[in-house]
Amino acid sequence: MNIEFNKNEDVNKQLVYELKTRLKKIYLGGGEKNAAKQKEKGKLLARERIDYLIDKGSNFLEVGAFTADGMYAAQGGCPSAGVVCGIGYVSGRQCMIVANDATVKAGAWFPMTAKKNLRAQEIAMENRLPVIYLVDSAGVYLPMQDEIFPDKEHFGRMFRNNAIMSSEGIVQISAIMGACVAGGAYLPIMSDEAMIVEGTGSVFLAGSYLVKSAIGEDVDNETLGGATTHCEISGVTDYKQPNDQACLDSIRNIMSMLGKPEDAGFDRIKPELPKEKEEELYGLFPENREKPYDMMDIINRIVDQSEFEEYKKGYGQSIICGLGRIDGWAVGIVANQRKVVKSKKGEMQFGGVIYSDSADKAARFIMNCNQKKIPLVFLQDVTGFMVGSRSEQGGIIKDGAKMVNAVANSVVPKFTIVIGNSYGAGNYAMCGKAYDPRLIYAWPTAKIAVMGGAQAAKTLLQIQEASLKAKGEVITPEKKDELLKEITDRYDSQTTPYYAASRLWVDGIIDPLETRKVISMGIEAANQSPIKKQFSVGVIQT
């Protein structure tokens, strides 16, 4: 391998090391002191509960590990938004698991906690995954109630989703393993089955202090809403368990008896590893985000046997489209090309730019995959659509709209991996978050923004310069450099994958070597939800 490969490898491995280091810190939740308090009560921690619940040796695909990362500093932080979510296997059945982390503000709900729970429910609803809630929460974080309580995508939407899922036959099982207060009490009770742990679990609309304040009644929390009360007197819960382990064992037993889900019919054969070494992804992906590289080198290290049937290979070369398999599953891949190519039009450096012919090709390919019932995988390293008079006169807006239309109306499941740049309308056309990918994950090399940092900083600087001049301020070259650095640093901090993941623009950040696992588990989940809708692209058909 050459020096450039080795340099890329070192940089990308360092980025993966940073990712794993940051995850280790997040996995500590609210810290050792708060964890010890939970242990003293005989409780397992949120991640321990999930580890105990899922099948031994099976994969767990976490959703939103970095949610709220770097946010709520004034409140002392909220790692993982105080809740652990992900797709796991319980008694051989894939399901969505949602576990409150009581070490983080007693499991209280922050604004991003609500957003994360709703994302978990959205994934479950799209893929008809059973949901297991491991409840241990003090309820809404009152100092921020105005950002959690009343709006459509706030706290109450979760209970609406409980009702919708139940009506659609999507199984929901709740385990009350700690506090479950006020509005939060509706979540387990609106589930299909609810169990409670004796001594630590409690559920009530108002705790003992509020009851005393509201109606003057003196009552302790256990009498008010403990396991005995709700399993033997009120009948609110269905099963009483002596401890966390017994409770989780009971869930596993129930899950083992679920009927077989319907099959969407996505094609899968025996999985094969790529012939090309997956580890070479580190060396092939350039350190410099502006540097060209061949996206086929990436695809060949993701698809089974490194076999790929390319669609319209010589046409619209700034986007690669084609068929392959990932972990045995048939997939249609749409990927941005970054290399310099020589064609009859002359030498062209694509750099992730989408041209008219490429948009046209991608739209046609997406339609074909919908016709053949083949899931779509988007590999994003896109800087946007081509601009300039030649492109405008060539109808780039029309062709771009055609591609966006095809992506928006696609009925087969879509999966997006942001491996590099994800800028402007390119993010939309390549199935960004707004276009309903079943899962969207990013490599540590990802950058997500309306435009690149250098372009944005210069534009913002011009605006700021004009504003200062209007006030009569003199801008020296030194002041200009200082402003440019300040703007660039701020803008660059907002384009990192961690910034995106903290706000759930992506479901998580992964080691590039986990790409096949994410896509495979995603298609397996989607295969439990037969396609009911007919594909149509509406008015833009030519």
Query: What is the Cα–Cα distance from 443 to 143, expressed in whole angstroms?
Result: 35
Residue 465 above 60 pLDDT? yes
Residue 392 above 60 pLDDT? no
pLDDT at position 528 is 96
pLDDT at position 476 is 78
Q: What percent of the chain has pLDDT over 90?
A: 69
User: CB-based contacts of 388: which residues, under 8 Å, 6+ apart?
Assistant: none
Q: Alpha helix (H) ranges present in 234-305?
A: 244-255, 281-284, 295-299
How remote is the C-alpha of 100 from its chain's centroid? Answer: 18
Axis crossing angle, helix 396-409 with helix 356-372, rounded to the nearest 10: 20
Q: Within 13 A of 186's CA, how many CA atoms are on the CB side?
A: 12
pLDDT at position 344 is 59
What 3-state DSSP class applies to 267? coil
pLDDT (tens digit per residue) in 103-150:
999 999 999 999 999 999 999 999 999 999 999 998 888 889 888 888
pLDDT at position 155 is 87
| Residue 501: closest CA among 36, 82, 21, 63 | 63
Q: What percent of the chain has pLDDT over 70?
A: 94
Query: What is the Cα–Cα distance from 107 to 80, expressed in whole angstroms?
Result: 11
Q: Alpha helix (H) ranges present in 382-452?
A: 389-393, 396-409, 424-429
Q: pLDDT-derived band of residue 352, with 50, 70 and 90 as boundaries?
A: confident
Beta bridge partners of 329: 268, 326
Residue 187 above 90 pLDDT? no
Q: pLDDT-derived band of residue 170, with 50, 70 and 90 as boundaries?
A: very high
Q: pLDDT-derived band of residue 328, with 50, 70 and 90 as boundaries?
A: very high
pLDDT at position 457 is 67
Residue 347 above 60 pLDDT? no
pLDDT at position 311 is 98
pLDDT (tens digit per residue) in 266-282:
999 999 999 999 999 99
H or E segment to which residue 319 belongs: strand 319-326
pLDDT at position 391 is 56
In total, the chain counts a number of residues equal to: 542
pLDDT (tens digit per residue) in 15-57:
999 999 999 999 999 999 999 999 999 999 999 999 999 999 9
Would you tell me how many other CB atoms lie within 10 Å of the CB of residue 342? 8
**E-state strands within 424-468:** 439-442, 447-449
Distances (CA, A) of 448 to 80, 119, 152, 340, 359: 20, 19, 26, 23, 20
Q: Taking residues 360-372, report their average pLDDT.
A: 96
Q: Taking residues 404-422, report their average pLDDT.
A: 96
Would you tell me how many other CB atoms lie within 10 Å of the CB of residue 314? 9
pLDDT at position 342 is 64
Q: pLDDT-derived band of residue 89, with 50, 70 and 90 as boundaries?
A: very high
Residue 10 above 90 pLDDT? yes
Q: pLDDT-derived band of residue 165, with 50, 70 and 90 as boundaries?
A: very high
User: CB-based contacts of 134: which residues, under 8 Å, 6+ apart?
Assistant: 46, 49, 50, 53, 97, 98, 99, 100, 175, 177
Of 182-186, 266-270, 319-323, where does mean pLDDT reach its minimum?
A: 182-186
Q: In terms of pLDDT, which residue wins out, 542 or 398?
A: 398
Residue 212 above 70 pLDDT? yes
Would you tell me how many other CB atoms lie within 10 Å of the CB of residue 370? 21
